[in-house]
């Protein structure tokens, strides 16, 4: 086997040095009753070329954004990834180290993560960021737990316009600790109903959780939501599932958010059928020690040279065990660094330009599709690169029809919102050309 260097002769020499006759003897501690007495029922080994052929055959059975016009977003966005990102993350020095427990030989990962933390702060307008969480939904769940720890309160108010899977994961996490939930409806504008928020907030509430742009594509006005939360001593948690929006949309940190979480995969790390992705997690300086996850900090070595280490470990499971702020250990360093590479490559102008491109293309599509007979805009609020169309025909049938023209047309919202079962969520990114958008309009019956 090419991944196992030791030959039979090597093994024999080692057995001799150990003083045993066979490998079997080394397993003597395993009681006979629990030894497996047959080979594993796993197929026999394949050569490199055979395995490549078989795995490729599986890949070829899937639709992908190269072969289809992709108008599906819903928390997983089809953005362009500059070639250099892939080349850099394939460098063995980034790909194959472990968590940087020995800083003297991990300064590359550590400096990259320190820069990642800074970039997330700049993008979200927050003070401090951790070195990554698994993905957007569980990061949001951890934010709710953090708010519970900070405030000592056990009620979460969450906008119904938050990604349904983020809501589901937050419920899963929080329900273990007896935290209760209430959901705030959205208005005809497609934004969280501030009136209802004010009614639901009380001194029992640990946090208000909203998403912007929300799952319906609409940009929330965060400032009044923050004021309402703060008025009762609750925290505002803002989830951002589409980080590219922050190239032009006012960052939550400038609107009073206390914790900003989200999905970083939009920053050039790819669709990957949903993962691996990367959760980001940023907060205010005063809450720094309540954060979950790894943190990289600057320090110096014995000779006064600047360097970086994992720090504030007294929050973490390997030190604090059951009193830790989270159980998180391995998270998503490589994907976090990949998203950092994206932000650095794009720079302030590129982040703005790509956001603007998304905004304009989506605005064009929105106009175009809303004029097609049988379709109209469901909500009136401002959107970024995603919007909701109300349809006369069943959304599921419409989507099925589009597949024949190699178009993945969006999401049937009835899957998550019974009240929106006559609605489609359509996403347009910089990857969708005008002819593609026109083809979509035409396929829906829009002529031209």
Partner 1 sequence: MSGTGNTIGTRGLVLNEPLIFEQGSPGRVGYSLPPVDVPEKKAEVLIPKRLLRDGIPGMPEVSEVDVIRHYTRISQWNYCVDLGFFPLGSCTMKYNPRINEDMARLPGFAKAHPYQPEELSQGALQLMWELEQYLAEVAGMDRVTLQPSAGAHGELTGLMMIRAYHTSRGNPRSKVLIPDSAHGTNPATSALCGYRVVPVKEGPRGIVEAKAVAEVMDNEVAAIMVTSPNTLGLFEDQIVEVSKIVHAKGGQVYCDGANLNSVMGISRPGDCGVDVIQINLHKTFSQPHGGGGPGAGPVALKKHLAPFMPVPTVEKKGNRLTLDFKRPKSIGKVRAFAASFGVLVRSYTYIRSMGSAGLRRASEVAVLNANYIQSQLKGTYHLPYDRHCMHECVFTDALQARHDIHTVDIAKRLIDYGFHPPTIYFPLIVKAALMIEPTETESKETLDQFIAAMKRIAQEAEENPEVLRQAPHNPKVTRMNETKAAREPKLRWRPTS
**70 sits near partner 1 (criterion: CB under 8 A):** yes
Q: Which of residues 236-275 bind partner 1 (CB under 8 A)?
A: 246-251, 254, 263, 270-275
Nearest distance, CB of residue 414 and partner 1, angstroms: 13
Give just the sign of the alpha carbon dihedral 189, 195, 199, 201: positive
**341 sits near partner 1 (criterion: CB under 8 A):** yes
Full DSSP string of 206-241: EEEEEESS-TTSBPP-HHHHHHHHHHTTPEEEEEES
Looking at 343-422, which runs of residues are DSSP E strands?
A: 375-377, 386-391, 407-408, 411-412
**316 sits near partner 1 (criterion: CB under 8 A):** yes
Contact by Cβ (8 Å): 200, 182: yes
Closest Cα partner for 279 from 300, 297, 262, 296?
A: 262
Instruction: Report in angstroms the alpha-carbon separations of 155 from 174, 209, 210, 295, 349.
Output: 10, 11, 15, 28, 41
Nearest distance, CB of residue 189 and partner 1, angstroms: 12
Rule CB under 8 A: choose which of 225, 260, 309, 423 binds partner 1: 309
**135 sits near partner 1 (criterion: CB under 8 A):** yes
Q: Which of residues 182-211 bind partner 1 (CB under 8 A)?
A: none
Q: What are phi and psi of 386, to 5 degrees?
A: -145, 145
**101 sits near partner 1 (criterion: CB under 8 A):** yes
Per CB under 8 A, which region of 197-205, 372-380, 387-395, 427-435 contacts partner 1? 427-435
What value, to the nearest 5°, has the Cα angle with vertex 225 and ends 219 and 230?
150
**347 sits near partner 1 (criterion: CB under 8 A):** yes
Per CB under 8 A, which region of 82-90, 147-155, 181-189, 229-237 contacts partner 1? 82-90
Token pair of 336 as six digits:
């976090």
Q: Which of residues 147-176 bind partner 1 (CB under 8 A)?
A: 163, 165-166, 168-169, 171-173, 175-176
**300 sits near partner 1 (criterion: CB under 8 A):** yes
Contact by Cβ (8 Å): 430, 358: yes
Rule CB under 8 A: choose which of 348, 374, 445, 447 binds partner 1: 348
How far is 139 from 422, CA to CA, in rounded Å? 31
Closest Cα partner for 131 from 111, 112, 113?
A: 113
**299 sits near partner 1 (criterion: CB under 8 A):** yes
> Residue 54 or 202: which CB sits closer to partner 1?
54
Nearest distance, CB of residue 158 and partner 1, angstroms: 14
Contact by Cβ (8 Å): 163, 75: yes
Rule CB under 8 A: choose which of 159, 208, 237, 359 binds partner 1: 359
Rule CB under 8 A: choose which of 243, 266, 382, 395 binds partner 1: 382
Rule CB under 8 A: choose which of 205, 354, 372, 439 binds partner 1: 354
**11 sits near partner 1 (criterion: CB under 8 A):** yes
Q: Which of residues 387-426 bind partner 1 (CB under 8 A)?
A: 399-400, 403, 408, 411
């Amino acid at each position: 086997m090419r991944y196992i260097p030791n030959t039979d002769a090597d093994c024999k020499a080692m057995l001799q040095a150990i003083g045993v006759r066979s490998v079997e003897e080394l397993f003597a501690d395993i009681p006979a009753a629990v030894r497996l007495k047959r080979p594993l029922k796993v197929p026999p080994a394949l050569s490199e070329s055979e395995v490549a052929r078989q795995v490729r055959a599986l890949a070829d059975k899937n639709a992908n954004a190269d072969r289809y016009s992709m108008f599906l977003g819903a928390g997983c966005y089809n953005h362009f990834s500059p070639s250099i990102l892939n080349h850099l993350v394939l460098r063995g020095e980034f790909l194959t180290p472990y968590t940087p427990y020995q800083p003297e030989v991990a300064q590359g990962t550590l400096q990259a993560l320190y820069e990642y933390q800074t970039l997330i702060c700049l993008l979200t307008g927050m003070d401090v960021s951790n070195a990554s969480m698994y993905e957007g939904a569980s990061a949001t769940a951890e934010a709710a737990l953090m708010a519970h720890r900070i405030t000592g309160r056990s009620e979460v108010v969450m906008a119904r316009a938050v990604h349904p899977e983020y809501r589901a994961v937050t419920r899963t996490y929080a329900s273990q600790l007896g935290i209760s939930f209430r959901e705030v409806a959205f208005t005809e504008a497609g934004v969280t109903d501030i009136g209802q928020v004010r009614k639901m907030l009380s001194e029992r509430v640990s946090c208000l959780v909203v998403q912007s742009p929300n799952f319906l594509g609409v940009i929330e006005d965060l400032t009044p939501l923050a004021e309402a939360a703060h008025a009762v001593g609750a925290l505002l948690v803002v989830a951002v599932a589409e980080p590219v929006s922050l190239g032009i949309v006012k960052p939550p940190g400038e609107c009073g958010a206390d914790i900003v979480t989200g999905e970083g995969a939009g920053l050039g790390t790819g669709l990957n059928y949903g993962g691996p992705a990367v959760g980001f997690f940023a907060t205010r300086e005063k809450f720094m020690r309540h954060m979950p996850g790894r943190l990289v900090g600057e320090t110096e070595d014995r000779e006064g040279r600047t360097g970086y280490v994992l720090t504030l470990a007294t929050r973490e499971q390997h030190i604090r065990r059951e009193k830790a702020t989270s159980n998180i250990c391995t998270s998503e360093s490589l994907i976090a660094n990949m998203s950092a590479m994206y932000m650095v490559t794009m720079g302030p102008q590129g982040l703005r330009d790509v956001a603007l491109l998304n905004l304009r293309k989506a605005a064009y599509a929105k106009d175009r599709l809303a004029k097609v007979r049988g379709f109209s805009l469901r909500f009136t609020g401002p959107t970024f690169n995603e919007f909701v169309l109300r349809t006369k025909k069943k959304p599921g049938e419409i989507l099925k029809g589009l597949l024949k023209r190699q178009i993945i047309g969006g999401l049937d919202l009835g899957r998550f919102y019974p009240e929106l079962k006559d609605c489609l969520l359509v996403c347009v990114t910089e990857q969708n050309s005008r002819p593609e958008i026109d083809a979509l309009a035409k396929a829906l019956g829009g002529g031209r």
